[in-house]
Amino acid sequence: MNEDLRNQFFAESIFHLVKEKYSELTDGCFSTSSQARHKVLAGIVMTRGFDLRSAQVVSLATGTKCLDSDNVSDHGGTLSDCHAEVVSRRALVRFLYAQLELLLREPADSEEQSIFVPNKGGGGFRLQDGVLFHMYVSSSPCGDARLNCPYETTAAYPSRRFHCHLRVKVDGGEGTLPITAPMANVNWTGAAPGKPPVTMSCTDKMAKWSVVGLQGALLSHLVEPVYLHSLTVGTLNHTGHLGRAMARRLAPVKNLLFPYRRQQLLLGCLNSSEVRPTGKAPNVSMNWSRGDGGLEEISTSTGRRKDSGTPSQLCKRSMFARWQRLQQQFNAADTTPGTYSASKMTAGRYQRAMQQFTSAMQAGGLGSWLRKPPELGHFNVSV
């Protein structure tokens, strides 16, 4: 089998693994309800090398919406971006926390072996050799990678002029606009008055993950960066757009401090005739991490659990509490409780890599990376 055929077979296999896991999780639970509908499904599969016999789906999510900026001010208790790609990454991070917690158990307590091993040089952990992660997304990520991106062909924003530009999500996450001018001079359609949207497109977030990793700033205190190895896209795919958005835009990002690097994604598109579901997107985003008993349902109008209105297992507050517990156990001497924002900012090498990424985008005339207001991260948790 030649390399192209082998890569195509691998991409199709990742798709089938994610689709089968989703069917298994929704069978009997949502099959007759509107929740079973989804516009976009994303999942992450873990393999040992490219051996599909070792493949395990480790995270899943559905969703296409974002909260309005008015609803994102409750100190880390809501999921503000419910796009499937973003939520599946958060679900993967939850899986990574569980893998670190395995290291704290006595070997007899669990037959499962953690995918993390101690760093040889001392301090922190890294993935076992050969552990790879692969993402499947049923539709091309919103933003620069999407062939027929909403808003891209309007008279105000002719599509070719803004190829490669960083973009923000608008209209509750259902469309994107390029970042082109000083914020004060832009009329941000779909945003609350006086509150411009600050949720970057999925394409831009995924490009960022190829530089700083999937683990995020908090976990980078404990582990080396965790990168996606491949991305498989279903409908609305176009390998030229994907390659430009995920690889060529990142060429100016250089001289990253070890252990950060610019990860070259293997890109795959499906040959199968998967059709993107039509109709109105459901007001529910679902997520699952390996080890969960079932799916968690999030209302995309509140960013909280649909059944109880309580915070999601993936919200910042939940993740921060889990990180603090691990930090206390692994680095007891260095632990000084701080806010969520402060704890992220003290991840020095991660923040340096992020700065190099955003500076390269800006220097290339592709726009400025917009960050959420820092006060949203000024909260503590008790553990």
The residues assigned a catalytic role are 85
Token pair in block for residue 148: 């027929």
Which element (helix H / strand E) includes 207? helix 202-212
What 3-state DSSP class applies to 254? coil
CB-based burial of residue 344 (10 Å sphere; 0-12 exposed, 13-18 middle, 19+ buried)?
A: buried
Torsion from C-alpha of 140, 278, 39, 78, nearest 10 degrees: 120
* CA 98/CA 195 separation, integer angstroms: 37
**DSSP letter assigned to residue 7:** H
* CA 114/CA 92 separation, integer angstroms: 14
- Give me the residue label for tokens 């598109």: 269
Q: CA angle, 228 as apex, 227 and 234 as ends, to 5°? A: 165
- Find out whether 347 and 122 touch, Cβ atoms under 8 Å: no
Q: What Cα–Cα distance (Å) separates residue 253 from each residue in 144, 202, 262, 312, 382?
A: 18, 19, 7, 34, 38
Torsion from C-alpha of 147, 152, 155, 158, nearest 10 degrees: -70
Count helices and strands in the chain by DSSP H and E runs:
8, 14
**Where are any strands of DSSP class E within the chain?**
41-48, 51-62, 64-66, 81-83, 116-118, 125-127, 131-139, 167-170, 175-178, 228-235, 266-269, 284-289, 296-299, 304-305
> 133 φ, ψ to 5°?
-120, 140
